[in-house]
Amino acid sequence: MTSSDPRPVAGPQRPTLLVIGDSLSYYGPKGGLPADHPRIWPNIVARELDWDVELVARIGWTTRDAWWAMTQDPRVWATIPRAGAVVLAVGGMDTLPSPLPTALRETLRYVRPPRLRRVVRETYGWLQPRLSPLGWPVALPPRVSVDYLETIRESLAYMRPDLPVIGTLPSVHRSEQYRAVHRGRPAAARAINRWASEKSVPLVDLGEAVHADIHSGAANPDGIHWGWDGHSEVAAAVLEAVRMVRRDARAAAEDIR
């Protein structure tokens, strides 16, 4: 091709839904699923919008991990310029009882030798449910969670002032691993609601969306992760929020419930 040859002109690029989440974004009723699984809620939303989707998530992620993803994950950096909206689907892990130091849980994989690691992991697994009824401390205090959410929002606004950011209120659970204790949720929900109101951030209440599913027999037996009805309800709620901030977004939320 010479300099005088016509160059192909790229068509308009589809917006991308950027989801920064935890395992609730990609676990189904039987366990973890690939990021392109058609029935997890990020893909349902993207399909209804006719958008692409970039899911950046890992099991156990808190709002702190979401901030680290913002600063360290090149997939996030690549997606921000073409994003149509960002969903911060984190915060639930922040509210769970964490009577043992969070740093201990996060560093179990680094314990050596392997025999010692197995002993430490088994001891942690034995203690966690027995200490969870204390309900305190939680993995991250509400004030810290909100600080991370606001830092993420401010950073996105600096790079893309036009980019809508959607927050979430924590999910609910009935996990025996935590003895079904979730005393940290109300305070976290209040703090996130105040932040969202002050910064005009639309919110999706994950707890409200999945409450029936979690307490049905169709959710994941671990008591934390959702069944397909839960994913559908969350998708409908997120889709409605996207439509509020992006008037050009097509789709009817009722169609996917």
Which pLDDT tens digit goes with each residue over 168-177? 999 999 999 9
- Same domain for 83 and 70: yes
Residue 224 lies in a domain: yes
Please check whether residues 154 and 185 belong to one and the same domain: yes
Count of structural domains, the chain: 2
User: Does the pLDDT at position 252 exceed 60?
Assistant: no
Packed helices 206-214 and 228-245: angle between N→C axes, nearest 10 degrees? 160
Tokens of 127: 């203690």
Terminal CA-CA length for the chain: 51
The predicted model gives 222-251 an average pLDDT of: 91
Residue 199 lies in a domain: yes
CA-wise closest residue to 253 among 204, 185, 214:
204
Whether residue 209 sits in one domain with residue 115? no
CATH number of the domain bearing residue 67: 3.40.50.1110
Within this chain, do residues 128 and 209 fall inside the same structural domain, yes or no? Answer: no
Residue 181 has pLDDT above 60, yes or no: yes
Residue 3: pLDDT band (50, 70, 90) is very low
Same domain, 32 and 124: no
How large is the average pLDDT for residues 226-250? Answer: 92
Neighbours of 189 (CB within 10 A): 18
Exposed/middle/buried for residue 62 (C-beta within 10 Å: 0-12, 13-18, 19+):
buried
Say whether both 237 and 215 belong to one domain.
yes
Q: Is 150 within a domain?
A: yes
Shared domain check, 102 and 84: no
- Residue 10 within a domain: no
User: Does residue 78 lie within any of the structural domains?
Assistant: yes
Is 246 inside a domain boundary? yes
What does the pLDDT read at residue 250?
57
Q: Residue 153 corresponds to which tokens in the numbers above?
A: 């929002």
The pLDDT of residue 228 is above 80? yes
In this structure, are 228 and 121 located in the same domain? Answer: no
Alpha carbon of 65 to those of 54, 103, 186: distances in Å?
17, 13, 21
Read off the pLDDT band of 9 (50, 70, 90). very low
Under the banding of pLDDT at 50, 70 and 90, the label for residue 189 is: very high
- 130 and 27 in a common domain: no
Query: pLDDT band at 8, cuts 50/70/90?
Result: very low
Indicate the burial class of 121 (C-beta count within 10 angstroms; 0-12, 13-18, 19 or more): middle
106 and 41 in one domain?
A: no
What tens digit of pLDDT does each residue of 24-78 get?
A: 999 999 999 999 999 999 999 999 999 999 999 999 999 999 999 999 999 999 9
Instruction: Grade residue 2 by pLDDT with cuts at 50, 70 and 90.
Output: very low
Q: Are residues 62 and 186 in the same domain?
A: yes
Verify that 184 and 233 share a domain, yes or no.
yes
Give the range of the structural domain holding residue 116, as residue numbers without chain letter.
98-134
Which two structure tokens, joined as six digits, stand for 101?
Answer: 């130091």
Token pair listed for 16: 């991308």
